[in-house]
Amino acid sequence: MKGTGHEMGIDTYRKICRQLQKHKMMEDAVKFYVYAMDGPYKPSVQDCCWLIRSISVSYNPDLNFVFRVFSKLESTGNTISKTVYDWIHRSLTSVGRFDEAEKTVNIMRSAGYEPDNMTYSQVVFGLCKARRLEEASKILVEMEESGCAPDVKSWTVLI
């Protein structure tokens, strides 16, 4: 296509990328995202969120893929939304990388986004998954102290 002067449109990108994600071909989806970001019709921030989400919810998320997508989005001058930070945070907590998840929260705060129920619940879920229940209950206390009341999902995760 490119050799004959045609560029890939955003609809084509979305269809192919969704198929790659559906078939759990995350490495190819990330490479395709990077390729599309270098073209004239760039995927939206929402497309980035969907890709990071797909990587995050996989059985064993490859964080290198998440960071490649994030870096490419950032390098194109896009404003990083709270949703992007939340999915990166979820990726980190789901694989037990709590120190890096905390750094992500600090970066998120410096960008003007405060942690919410989702952010805290992800940490609680990750800690429970790692059998660190005492730390998980401390996070719930911290959550309440910061003025963010735990919802039903937050408590259910701990139970």
Contact by Cβ (8 Å): 89, 121: no
Q: How far apart are CA 153 and CA 122, in angstroms?
A: 10
Residue 77, pLDDT score = 86
Give the count of beta carbons closer than 10 Å to the beta carbon of residue 77. 6
For 97-145, the DSSP string reads: -HHHHHHHHHHHHHTT----HHHHHHHHHHHHHTT-HHHHHHHHHHHHH
3-state class of 37 per DSSP? Answer: helix
Structure tokens at 34: 């990077």
Assign residue 114 a region (left: φ > 0; alpha: ψ between -120 and 50; beta: otherwise): beta
Residue 96, pLDDT score = 86
**For every one of its 159 residues, what pLDDT tens digit does the chain have, with 9 covering 90 and above?**
566 767 888 999 999 999 999 999 999 999 999 999 998 889 998 899 889 888 888 777 888 998 899 899 889 888 888 988 998 898 888 888 899 899 999 999 999 999 988 898 889 888 988 889 899 889 888 888 888 888 887 777 767
- Contact residues for 87 (Cβ-Cβ < 8 A; gap 6+): 49, 52, 53, 56, 66
